Structure 1
Amino acid sequence: MGEKSLHILARHANSLEDVETAGKNDPLVVVTLDLEDKPSWKKSSVKNNAGTNVEWDEVLVLDNYDHSRHHNLYVDVLDKEKTANAVIGYCTIPLHQVIDAGGQLKAKFDLYNKDGKEKGTISLTLTIVNTSESGDNHDNDGPESKGLSTNDQKHQDHIKSLVLKEHGADAAALLGVAGALFLAGSAMRSKPKKEKN
């Protein structure tokens, strides 16, 4: 039978939540079969200033796919930030629907925002590939179906940790600015005043 991989053609996302306070979202997609195995996560390129509608048309490959162990694909759409990336949306995709579709599924999946509410969609083509096969058969011409995506507890917990990391990075940045302002103010107050004659 041989080893298999899961190829994810990240095509586009629409009606994403706007998480930028200034400017537009800089979205990227992160996919994994195992939230605990960080080295296995694959990331797309960042689409700077794409906003709430974005096109990637980029293939991400997750090696060592085993249908007996990997029941879900975890998808995060993040806003690239200097400190910690902000969560735009996420979903958990049950992979039985790819198997039921003959090993390839071109579909649009609902995304959930960090509060767990449906917001936006992502269009993906998921293909199970034997690693001994060559070539990229990501049929992008066929019709797109409505795929099943969920908001499972394990993924929610992962998203909460990302949100906490983002808030921690934001707080640290604010403390750094406040500290710099405090030091500048202290330096100004400690300067000897010139006497007037």
Structure 2
Amino acid sequence: MLHLHTDSVLEVTVHSARGLKDVERFGKNDAFARISVDVDNSKQYEKFKTEVKKNSGSDPSWEQSFDIREVEDKHTDLYVEVLDDDNGADAPIAFAAIPLQQVKEAPNQSLSALYDLYNDHGVAQGQISLTIRIVQPGQVSSGNITYDGNFNKGLSRVDEEQKKRFKKLRLKETATDVGGATVLGGIAALGAGFLASQARKNEEAKKRDEALAENQ
């Protein structure tokens, strides 16, 4: 749906990703993407987040658009994160910082491109396709832009602050997994102890019954 913007807006369509690492231990990624113009703004990442694509594995597709109005001159990059949805802490898959200068220099200040993503070691891993457009006051939105698989390569980079953030997300996810495993291990140990105790009680009861039968 086309609509008239009354203020400056960064319009971002998150199309799809490809070549992602599968971080699920069992099954495939339940992948979602989120974006922000502030590297560590959790509220903004939560606001501009795609739906979760269940069992999408290494090549999820979203085709969702967002209007970011909280854009100022100090915002030089669009920060992108791709994660695997989990009941505990979401597992980080890949990230990238996308310089907005290339969008400003593009025809009509609109750029559809493929961008390299990076893992928490800063190594390129997978790509994401985005359409990024700077919409000035009085302009209309670009409507629904679909990805045809023929976008050119855009410029992305590893931002050190985002890299640190992603490592923290990894540590949080790992700690949650370890905690869950510890709890499950504790439950299993308690269960095993309970069963052993019950077995001893059953054996003692059996011996009492046998002794009672001999005395009759």
Shared fold (TM-score greater than 0.5)?
Answer: yes
* Counterpart mapping for 1:56-135 below 5 A: 56-66=62-72, 68-101=73-106, 102-130=108-136, 133-135=139-141
* Counterpart mapping for 1:1-197 below 5 A: 3-41=7-45, 42-66=48-72, 68-101=73-106, 102-130=108-136, 133-137=139-143, 139-140=145-146, 144-191=151-198, 192-193=201-202, 194-196=205-207, 197=210
Q: How far does residue 185 in structure 1 lie from its aligned partner after superposition?
A: 2.2
| Kept in 1: contact 2:15–2:147 (CA 8 A) | no
3-state SS in 1 of match to 2:206:
coil
3-state SS in 2 of match to 1:195:
helix
- The total of aligned residue pairs comes to 196
CA distance in 1 between counterparts of 2:103 and 2:184 reads 49
The structure whose residues are more often strand, as a share, is: 1
3-state SS in 1 of match to 2:29:
coil
Question: AA paired with 2:163?
Answer: Q
The structure whose residues are more often helix, as a share, is: 2
| Kept in 1: contact 2:63–2:146 (CA 8 A) | no
Q: How far does residue 35 in structure 1 lie from its aligned partner after superposition?
A: 2.6
Q: How far does residue 88 in structure 1 lie from its aligned partner after superposition?
A: 1.5
Question: AA paired with 2:171?
Answer: L
Question: AA paired with 1:31?
Answer: I
* Ranges in structure 2 where 5+ consecutive residues have no aligned partner: 1-5, 211-216
Q: How far does residue 130 in structure 1 lie from its aligned partner after superposition?
A: 3.6
| Kept in 2: contact 1:27–1:54 (CA 8 A) | yes
CA distance in 2 between counterparts of 1:94 and 1:82 reads 33
User: 79-88 or 134-143, which moves further after superposition?
Assistant: 134-143
TM-score (ref. length: structure 1): 0.90
TM-score (ref. length: structure 2): 0.83
**What is the root-mean-square deviation in Å for CA atoms of aligned residues?**
2.1
CA distance in 2 between counterparts of 1:23 and 1:141 reads 27
3-state SS in 2 of match to 1:11:
strand
Q: How far does residue 4 in structure 1 lie from its aligned partner after superposition?
A: 2.1
3-state SS in 2 of match to 1:57:
strand
Q: Which residue of 1 aligns with 2:214?
A: none
